[in-house]
Amino acid sequence: MLLVKQELLAALANTLESLSPGAGAKAAFESPKVAAHGDFASTAAMQLAKPLGKKPRELAEQLSAALLATPAFSQWVEAIEIAGPGFLNIRLKTAAKQQIVREVLSAGNTFGQQPATGEKVLVEFVSANPTGPLHVGHGRQAALGDAICNLRASQGDSVWREFYYNDAGVQIQTLANSTQLRARGFKPGDAEWPSGEKAPAYNGDYIADIAEDFKAKKTVKSDDREYTASGDIDDIDSIREFAVAYLRREQDLDLQAFRVRFDNYYLESSLYTSGRVEAAVGKLVAAGKTYEKDGALWLKSTDYGDDKDRVMKKKDGTYTYFVPDVAYHIAKWERGFHKVVNIQGTDHHGTIARVRAGLQAAGEGIPEGYPDYVLHTMVRVMKGGEEVKISKRAGSYVTLRDLIEWTSTDAVRFFLLSRKPDTEYTFDVDLAVTKNNDNPVYYVQYAHARICSVLAGWGGDAATLKDVDLSPLESPPAQALMLLLAKYPAMLTAASKDFAPHDVTFYLRELAANYHSYYDAERILVDDEKVKLARLALVAATAQVLHNGLAILGVSAPSKM
């Protein structure tokens, strides 16, 4: 049906071009808001009526007749109905809709994917500082980032996954101090332990684990570093290095369990040691985009839409936190990534304007709106009807590992992707482990497994189904299912453009519902061989699209449940 649509679109473009030179480039189909109105719609008659000096309905009649005379419309279109002021509602022949089954089965795992574009896209996500276990918010970010990477790759982009973290600074020193206190035998609640709301200490049990392994002189290895502890509890530098490596390894284990990988880890400290921060500040000063006031260096960020100018360098000579971000993104640009997406929590909203201002002011030709941001809210967790706020292991929040252990990687991914990133979300642990239609990931996976069971019961070679006679697929349930299969590629393209993996979850739930309705309406393994093979081809195509969509989300498509 995709090929059918392309042929029809080409015929529409040629016809419009013959009526008005240049109009062919604007040829497009819309989806009728009411399914009963047809399969495609065109507003071309209304758009061209005024330039051509004709009444819209009169032009619609002329356009309809011309289109039906073309080979493509003659072959694939049942009728064109004119509605309202000049809408063209196009109703396809059943044979046109059936073509999608063959297209899906022929393309297999690549159905919905687009050719390589040559565009390099960097997606930065998770970016958690190594000061503790990954929390549920990091999990939402990991699911979003990975799915967005998969979406962009499906549209032909060359995607690079990057993890950025602060391996120095106040938080890392607090981590080292907390680990040293634990190594000396102190714990939260002791007189020697920092207390109070603003006390610099990490209280989770994981700090005690780090301290014990440090004293045992263990070696830890993460994706980006390896370190052997000295065992000397007075060696704060060794404690710091070991604690960072230990927690990076813990993060790696969590992300591996979550089926998330990265191409690169970028250290904030490298921006200073390489001179990138100083170089970025130098560019801004040279461009005349800074000034000194009250002993501090300021960026003229209001020149770029910020609500006020921002301090870059404080009186004490240290840089404010957005300056290394500017240096980091200049580095991204210089590395050839002119399309960059940052997945971050909504608490980063205030930094967007000043980072973009710094980038535009740097004189590197970086455009307004670079980089793109996808901001997500935090996640509430419900279990047993009550909100879960803390984890014994972390001390103050629910960890991603907790959520995976309570449910499954598939459930966590699907659930965390099932809403727009900027909307509040409550993760219901009890719902995530239920095996009924109320659980959305179970509902979708069960549809796939149900089809696999049907195909196994048939026992034939599924590869032969792409060549069967599809003419028996004439019923309304079959046609509805085929039309939905045909929408998958366009849905994928839109979801990629909008950074909206939740659209994939909505589509998969709708497809699963349509399949379950079809299964209830028509027996598949009937005695009539021709009918049986056609129906098997349809459900096999449905299973393929379910599989492809779940793969975009990083969720498995089980053959048995």
The answer on pLDDT for 286 being more than 80 is yes
pLDDT in tens, 453-474: 999 999 999 999 999 999 999 9
Which pLDDT belongs to residue 196? 75
Fold exhibited by the domain 437-553: Isoleucyl-tRNA Synthetase; Domain 1 (1.10.730)
Structure tokens at 317: 């000579």
Give the residue from 217, 215, 193, 214 showing the smallest Cα distance to 204: 193
Confidence of residue 36 (pLDDT cuts 50, 70, 90): confident
- Sequence-distant (≥ 6) Cβ neighbours of residue 358 within 8 angstroms: 280, 284, 299, 301, 322, 323, 325, 326
Confidence of residue 105 (pLDDT cuts 50, 70, 90): very high
Structure tokens at 40: 């495609």
Which pLDDT belongs to residue 192? 92
The answer on pLDDT for 509 being more than 90 is yes
Confidence of residue 390 (pLDDT cuts 50, 70, 90): confident
Which pLDDT belongs to residue 389? 84
Q: What is the mean pLDDT of residues 115-125?
A: 96
The answer on pLDDT for 86 being more than 80 is yes
Separation CA 420–CA 398 (nearest Å) = 21
Q: How far is the CA of 438 from the CAs of 432, 433, 435, 446, in angstroms?
A: 9, 10, 8, 12
Which pLDDT belongs to residue 195? 80
> Which 3 state secondary structure label does DSSP give 306?
coil
Q: What is the mean pLDDT of residues 7-12?
A: 95
Give the residue from 102, 1, 107, 97 showing the smallest Cα distance to 548: 107
Separation CA 357–CA 299 (nearest Å) = 8
Q: What is the mean pLDDT of residues 1-26?
A: 91
The answer on pLDDT for 281 being more than 90 is yes
The kind and range of the H/E element at 375 are strand 372-376
The reported pTM is: 0.91
Which pLDDT belongs to residue 218? 98
Which pLDDT belongs to residue 31? 84
Q: What is the mean pLDDT of residues 153-158?
A: 98
Confidence of residue 352 (pLDDT cuts 50, 70, 90): very high
- Every domain of the chain with CATH number 1.10.730.10 lies at 437-553
Confidence of residue 168 (pLDDT cuts 50, 70, 90): confident
User: Alpha-carbon torsion 232, 237, 240, 243, what sign?
Assistant: negative
Separation CA 548–CA 107 (nearest Å) = 11
Q: How far is the CA of 109 from the CAs of 176, 260, 389, in angstroms?
A: 48, 20, 40
Please state, as a whole number, how many other Cβ atoms lie within 10 Å of the Cβ of residue 81.
15
Confidence of residue 394 (pLDDT cuts 50, 70, 90): low
Contact 473, 96 (CB under 8 A): no
What's the CATH number of domain 2-92, 3.30.420.40, 3.30.1360.70, 3.40.50.300, 3.40.80.10? 3.30.1360.70
More confident residue, 306 or 492: 492
The answer on pLDDT for 84 being more than 80 is yes
pLDDT in tens, 408-417: 999 999 999 9
Confidence of residue 393 (pLDDT cuts 50, 70, 90): low
Which DSSP letter does residue 393 get?
A: T
The answer on pLDDT for 200 being more than 90 is no
Structure tokens at 252: 């790696």
Residue type, 481: L
% of the chain surpassing 90 pLDDT: 89
Average pLDDT over all residues of the chain? 94
The answer on pLDDT for 110 being more than 80 is yes
- Every domain of the chain with CATH number 3.30.1360.70 lies at 2-92
The answer on pLDDT for 143 being more than 90 is yes
Give the residue from 483, 517, 504, 501 showing the smallest Cα distance to 546: 504
Which pLDDT belongs to residue 38? 87
Backbone angles phi, psi at 219, to 5 degrees: -110, 130
* Bridging pattern class, strands 226-228 and 219-221: antiparallel
- Sequence-distant (≥ 6) Cβ neighbours of residue 406 within 8 angstroms: 383, 429, 432, 433
Structure tokens at 16: 């419009």
Which pLDDT belongs to residue 392? 64
Q: What is the mean pLDDT of residues 435-446?
A: 97
